[in-house]
């Protein structure tokens, strides 16, 4: 997102976008622990915001707004020896093949990793094949499959992986071919301005930009399904500068 939206945002406002990659849960923990100081927090699922709400969690989040959704898909390397099979056979059969190199993120720190686990579990239950989970994923924290979110795309593109689980916008940005799983699971991105944001004016400008006609168009071009702005939480904490859109 940063490489596409960042330049347009700077042209429109003069502000520079500096994003921090990583799983939403892990980033929230870093914010809470004050290891990073950020202006805006975009979570892949609404529930992560709760970990930053209330005085016991630092009170960093008091409101958020829906931003966009993106389904969880399987992205594959077109040069993989399994590429043809992925396009013609049930995905769960191919991913369970011996020697298949699958990449995913850590369910403990990234909602995408947690959704991946849930998706495979749901498919296994639907097929009445409980062993399918271990056949595809091994253990929950399988070190042969679990990688940092920011490295997963590169690992796939360089042939280290046959396929990986991605949100559709990630795959679209990296031009990775995908297949659908048939299950309705994915990201529900939200956005908020954190308490104590050091660059508040820039943060407000960024939120406004994303909900602007240009911002919405850019997000749709990244295969994101945009959502209308709506305040969830304490409306009195929403910056007055955002009153025109929230």
Domains in the chain: ranges and CATH: 2-69+188-242 (3.40.190.10), 70-179 (3.40.190.10)
Helix (H, G, I), strand (E, B) or coil at 246: coil
Q: Are strands 102-103 and 163-167 parallel, antiparallel or unpaired?
A: parallel
What local confidence, expressed as pLDDT, does residue 3 receive? 87
What local confidence, expressed as pLDDT, does residue 233 receive? 98
Burial class (CB in 10 A: 0-12, 13-18, 19+), 56: exposed
Runs of H (alpha helix) within the chain: 2-13, 24-32, 83-88, 91-95, 111-127, 132-137, 149-157, 168-174, 200-211, 213-221
Instruction: List, as one string, the DSSP characters of 153-206.
Output: HHHHHTTS-SEEEEEHHHHHHHT--EE--SS--EEEEEEEEPTT-TTHHHHHHH
Compute mean pLDDT per 10 residues along the chain, 246 residues long, and list them.
Answer: 92 96 93 96 98 97 98 98 98 98 96 97 97 97 95 97 97 96 96 98 98 98 96 97 93
Separation between Cα atoms, residue 9 and residue 17, nearest integer Å: 7
Other CB atoms within 10 Å distance of the CB of residue 128 = 7
Separation between Cα atoms, residue 116 and residue 164, nearest integer Å: 10
Residues in the chain: 246
What local confidence, expressed as pLDDT, does residue 131 receive? 96
Separation between Cα atoms, residue 119 and residue 186, nearest integer Å: 9
Separation between Cα atoms, residue 6 and residue 207, nearest integer Å: 12
pTM: 0.92
What local confidence, expressed as pLDDT, does residue 2 receive? 84
Cβ atoms of residues 75 and 177 within 8 Å: yes
What are the angstrom distances between the C-alpha of 91 and each of 78, 86, 116, 134? 15, 6, 13, 15
Separation between Cα atoms, residue 146 and residue 110, nearest integer Å: 11
What local confidence, expressed as pLDDT, does residue 164 receive? 99
Separation between Cα atoms, residue 156 and residue 77, nearest integer Å: 6
């Amino acid at each position: 997102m940063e490489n596409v939206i960042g330049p347009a945002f700077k042209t429109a406002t003069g502000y520079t976008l500096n994003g921090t990659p990583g799983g939403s849960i892990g980033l929230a923990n870093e914010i809470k622990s004050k290891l990073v100081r950020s202006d805006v927090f975009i979570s892949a699922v609404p529930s992560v915001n709760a970990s930053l709400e209330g005085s016991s969690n630092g009170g960093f989040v008091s409101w958020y707004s829906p931003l966009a959704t993106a389904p969880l898909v399987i992205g594959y390397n077109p040069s993989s020896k399994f590429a043809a099979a992925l396009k013609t056979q049930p995905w769960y059969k191919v991913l369970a093949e011996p020697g298949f190199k699958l990449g995913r993120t850590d369910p403990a720190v990234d909602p995408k990793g947690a959704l991946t686990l849930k998706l495979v579990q749901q498919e296994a239950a639907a097929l009445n094949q409980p062993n399918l989970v271990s056949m595809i994923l091994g253990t929950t924290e399988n070190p042969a499959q679990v990688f940092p979110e920011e490295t997963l795309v590169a690992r796939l593109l360089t042939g280290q992986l046959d396929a990986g689980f991605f949100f559709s916008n990630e795959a679209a940005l990296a031009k990775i071919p995908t297949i659908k799983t048939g299950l309705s699971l994915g990201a529900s991105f939200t956005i908020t301005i954190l308490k104590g944001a050091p660059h508040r004016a820039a943060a407000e400008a960024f939120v406004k930009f994303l909900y602007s006609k240009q911002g919405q168009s850019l997000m749709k071009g990244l295969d994101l399904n945009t959502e209308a702005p709506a305040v969830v939480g304490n409306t009195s904490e929403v910056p007055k500068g955002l009153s025109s859109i929230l």
